[in-house]
Structure 1
Amino acid sequence: MTDISAASVVLPRAAADKEARARLAYLDGWRGLSIALVLIGHFFPVPGINLGVLGVEFFFVLSGRLMGEILFIERFPLKKFFKRRFSRIYPALLVFVIAAMVGLAGTYIAFKWKAALTALTFTYNYAGIFINRAGALDHIWSLCVEEHSYILLALISVMVTGRTNVVRLLVVLALLAMANGAISYGVLGMGYETTYWRTDVHIASILLSAAICLLKADGRLPAFLKSQHVALVAAATGVLLFSDPVPTPLHYTLAVPLLALAVNTLDFAGSALKGPLSSRPMVMLGLWSYSLYLWQQPFYKFVDERGSAPIPMLAAVFACALCSYYVIEKPARGWLNRNW
């Protein structure tokens, strides 16, 4: 899932394997950081910055990098690609939606069948704006954006030839999506969710990160961007630009490109950044991140809407998420990948 550098080719096999594991570790750590930001933002909000929103952007730019590597560099077969995406995402999602329907029926958190169906068909990010929504499923909007991006990037991978043409198209589409968001929110006065839940706006994060990934793979990143400090500086600046005093459209036109640059230049970063990301707690959070993402929302709603104590609710999130990961997500993914 990573590009092969000249350095890794000349390393002895054991050293190359170690480097590959380290690279995977810090990408898992980035995913762990993403879900940590979401959990902190929801259960222990920090004044002045929405860490939950920021965590979603960390997820998106990582997804853009990984999809760029898988679809355009490794040229992963699309049939196998979509099978693996399905096995990774759908079993845990299906169980979560069914459990939410059963567990939340009759509670103060309204649960609607239409909302459940749109979550399972990855249309919630539009249906939740214009038709029907349920608070326990509101986070599914971001999963919908991811799924739509898989389809678009897969189509581009088979319809557009030449890496340069692909990069140009990704950048143009990302800029159009950014402009769409700025106009919708800043000029037309649409609300935050009405604007930034939409794939035609929020896909910019994924597309831009994929474009930077391809530029890096082709050796076309400027030399100064390969400094060991670039990823840390870009990430820190991106976080600061996501603070509340900065107008919302600038979050998605200035901060997102910096986060996309940060995740793609992690390979050049020093141990001050890759070390913490590669630590076992961050890697484990990354492995559990999808189940944590699914299950945090209902318990967050109890905290946000009913004022429940955050620590017991967060403990319940981990309990449900770990059961989901070890009983549903991991076994289902392994079985489907072996037998489908």
Structure 2
Amino acid sequence: MTDISATAGVLPRAAVDRTARTRLAYLDGWRGLSIALVLIGHFFPVPGINLGVLGVEFFFVLSGRLMAEILFIERFPLKKFFKRRFSRIYPALLVFVIAAMMGLASTFIAFKWKAALTALTFTYNYAGILVNRAGALDHIWSLAIEEHSYVILALISVVVSGRANVVRLLVALSLLAMANGAISYWVLGMDYETSYWRTDVHIASILLSAAICMLKADGRLPAFLRNQHVALAAAAGAVLLFLDTVPTPVHYLLGVPLLALAVNTLDFAGGYLTGLLSSRPMVMLGLWSYSLYLWQQPFYKFVYDRDGAPIPMLAAVFACALASYYIVEKPARGWLNRNW
């Protein structure tokens, strides 16, 4: 993400800096909300709804919005874009996987070297279905989809000219991916992982959010969708559609579009919502979200598989995640961005 918002050149420098800080704090708050849902869903599950799944979808639709802003609206240079993605993602992932291979294998659950290799090559979402899995790495399926989406969106930004054409393509690919998931699950009888761990299915969440973001930026989003009450209703509807009683494909055929709309339009709600998402606790959770995402999985599996006490395990997640963020993720990202 660039440090200056798209309003640069229109507002005075000081106003631009304030706008950028507010915008980044707000988006970090979205990340904070997403990881909070994942942690609650994994360590303190709420009967009737899988908040972990909902939190992952929040991450996906937020990622779609951010990638659209970076690649299609701000036109961030691709070389710099991929360098920053690498510096953000890979050092912390590498340390986590090595730590898992060295320590978690004997401490928590069975660990497999092939699974570690597929995690480090961002192929786990397919290899976990077809070849080999390790419970401590099962969450890497979603990171693999994120990485694949970076490549696909970057290619689209180079090959397809005109933002209207890009939006049409993103919507078409999203509809195909959602139909692919529904057919895999309902018609072919595949289970959740086999259907929805795949990039050719789950990328719909990212692409559809990117399309909505571009429509909003170009002023082509229908006026009624820019209403704060509609945005809040979309968010509420998305949550209800992720209830356990709702068939899985419906989560993605109806719930994800509503969630994508909410993440892109809840800015219009303003006031208390923006204040909550920009609050220091939510922003800090957002800053730590990637390290929390990495480290929660093995401790969650310990709670889930061995009936471990959730509060000590969650405390261990934060301890490992904060160490990862301040010792690995943040220093490595800063060094690579300065020197690469």
TM-score (norm 1): 0.96
The answer to whether structure 1 residue 175 and structure 2 residue 175 are counterparts is yes
Call closer, same or farther: CA 1:230–1:12 in 2, change over 3 Å.
farther
For residue 245 of structure 2, give the secondary structure of its aligned residue in structure 1: coil
- Aligned-pair CA distance for 1:13: 4.5
Deviation at 1:149, TM superposition (A): 0.3
CA contact (8 A) 1:50 1:244 kept: yes
Q: Who is 2:184 aligned against?
A: 184
- The Cα shift of 1:235 comes to 1.2
Q: Please tell me whether the aligned partners of residues 6 and 74 of structure 2 are also in contact (alpha carbons under 8 angstroms).
A: no
Q: Which consecutive unaligned segments of at least 5 residues does structure 1 have?
A: none
Q: For 2:228, what is the secondary structure of its paired residue?
A: coil
Q: What corresponds to 2:160 in structure 1?
A: 160
Looking at structure 2, the residues matched to 193 and 205 of structure 1 have their Cα atoms a distance apart, in angstroms, of 16
Counterpart in 1 of 2:319? Answer: 319
TM-superposed CA distance for 1:236, in Å, is 1.5
Amino acid across the alignment from 1:329? E
Residues paired across the two proteins, number: 338
Q: CA deviation at 1:274?
A: 1.1
Percent of residue pairs identical: 85
Mapped to 2, the partners of 1:309 and 1:219 lie a distance apart of 50
Task: Give 2:276's aligned amino acid.
Answer: P
Partner Cα separation in structure 2 for residue 9 and residue 79 of structure 1: 24
How many Å separate the matches in 1 of 2:71 and 2:164? 15
Could you tell me how far apart the structure 2 residues matched to 1:3 and 1:225 are?
23
Alignment pair present for 1:22 and 2:22: yes
Aligned residue in 1 for 2:127:
127
The one-letter code sitting in structure 2 at the alignment partner of 1:158 is V
Alpha-carbon displacement from aligned partner over 1:235-254 (angstroms, at most 9, x marks no partner) = 11101110011111110010
> Alpha-carbon deviation of 1:226?
1.5
Q: CA deviation at 1:18?
A: 2.4
Aligned amino acid, residue 219 of structure 1: G
CA contact (8 A) 1:135 1:301 kept: yes
Contact 1:23/1:267 (8 A) holds in 2 = no
Matches within 5 A, 1:186-201: 186-201=186-201
Alignment of 1:245-284 (within 5 A): 245-284=245-284
Partner Cα separation in structure 1 for residue 18 and residue 5 of structure 2? 15
8 A contact 2:125–2:141 mirrored in 1: yes
Q: What code does the residue aligned with 1:230 have? A: V
Partner of 1:214: 214
Structure 1 residue 270 displacement after superposition: 1.9
Structure 1's 90 and 27: CA in aligned 2 closer, same or farther, altered over 3 A? same
Find the counterpart in structure 2 of residue 304 from structure 1: 304
Which residue number in structure 2 is paired with residue 90 of structure 1?
90
Pair 1:317–1:293, CA change in 2 (3 A):
same
Q: Cα deviations across residues 60-83 of structure 1 (Å, max 9, x unaligned)?
A: 000000000111111111111100
Q: Give the distance between the partners of 2:234 and 2:9, measured in 1 at CA.
A: 29
TM-superposed deviation, 1:17: 3.0
CA distance change for structure 1 residues 149 and 141 in 2, over 3 Å: closer, same or farther? Answer: same
Contact 1:229 1:270 (8 Å CA) reproduced: no
| Residue number in structure 2 paired with 1:35 | 35
Bigger CA drift: 217-226 or 40-49? 217-226
Aligned residue in 2 for 1:53: 53
CA distance in 1, matches of 2:106, 2:165: 53
Give distance in 2, aligned partners of 1:27 and 1:266: 11
Structure 2 counterpart of 1:231: 231
- Point out where structure 2 has 5 or more consecutive residues left out of the alignment: none
CA contact (8 A) 2:68 2:211 kept: yes
User: CA 1:85–1:38 in 2, change beyond 3 Å: closer, same or farther?
Assistant: same
The secondary structure found in structure 1 opposite 2:286 is helix
CA contact (8 A) 2:5 2:19 kept: no
Partner of 1:286: 286
TM-score, normalised by the number of residues in structure 2: 0.96
**2:5 and 2:20 in contact (8 A); partners too:** no
1:105 offset after TM fit, Å? Answer: 2.7
Q: CA deviation at 1:266?
A: 2.9
Residues 133-187 of structure 1: CA distance to partner in whole angstroms, max 9, x if unpaired? 0000000000000000000000000000111110000000000000000000011
Whole-angstrom distance in 1 between the partners of 2:94 and 2:5: 33
Distance 1:16 1:337 in 2: 23
Separation of aligned partners in 2, 1:89 and 1:237: 32
CA distance in 2 between counterparts of 1:230 and 1:183 reads 30
SS at match of 1:122: coil
What's 2:116 paired with?
A: 116
Q: Aligned partners of 1:221, 1:193: CA distance in 2, in Å?
A: 34
Structure-2 residue corresponding to 1:139: 139
Q: Does the CA contact (< 8 Å) of 2:108 and 2:298 recur in 1?
A: no
Code of the aligned partner of 1:109: I
How far off its partner does 1:258 sit? 0.7
Q: Note the aligned Cα RMSD (angstroms).
A: 1.4
8 Å contact kept, 2:196–2:202? yes
